[in-house]
Amino acid sequence: MQPNILFYFTDQQRADTLGCYGQKLDISPNLDELAQEGVLFENAFTAQPVCGPCRAMFQTGRYPTEINCYRNGQPLPDDVKTVADYMNEAGYDAAYVGKWHLASCRDSYEEPPVIDYECRAIPPERRGGYRGFWRVSDVLEATSHGYDGYVFDEEMQKREFKGYRVDCITDFALEYLEQYKGEKPFFLTISHIEPHHQNDRKCYEGPDGSKQRL
């Protein structure tokens, strides 16, 4: 029987903020328990620590410069094989919850996106091979703040949430687990934005239905 895989990903979190890596204060009991029962990498490095490039590396196993994802605002190429593709081939159900940051395209942060999914649903062809359960915002800090916001599901429908964002994103993952029937092993990614710093790039719907930013 193939094992189920839960990939739990936080954003901009240093190792010394976690008890499993030596932090003396009891501030990460749940993550410490996951580390104790799962896989804990004790000697790991990133080729690029910035959000989008790092995520591109996780999804493809390739250097960000090799696939033109060397900075934020560079979408994942359509022809690159991803971990979701490999998991699909191995008979897994690949699901994703949280922040994606690999669909929109920006020439610069002073200009509007050239390809804009920052406040919109990401179409299936830009989901990196994830074909099933999907509760995702391309730029979660643009569609939410610490205590409310929205993501989109696999049918491209908006899913609003109220409450502490970490809890709400985790609840979406629990939604997947509650409906999971065990027909296939699962590969579930939970991609939080926290403890990433907050910003004010919040999206809202204008009077004419257009997506705008504060």
Pick from 81, 44, 85, 51: nearest CA to 66:
81
Evaluate whether 114 touches 106 at the Cβ level (below 8 Å).
yes
* Residue 69 falls in the annotated catalytic set: no
Active site residue 197: no
Instruction: Give me the catalytic one of 54, 69, 101, 192.
Output: 101
Catalytic residue among 51, 69, 119, 203: 51
Which of the residues are catalytic? 51, 101
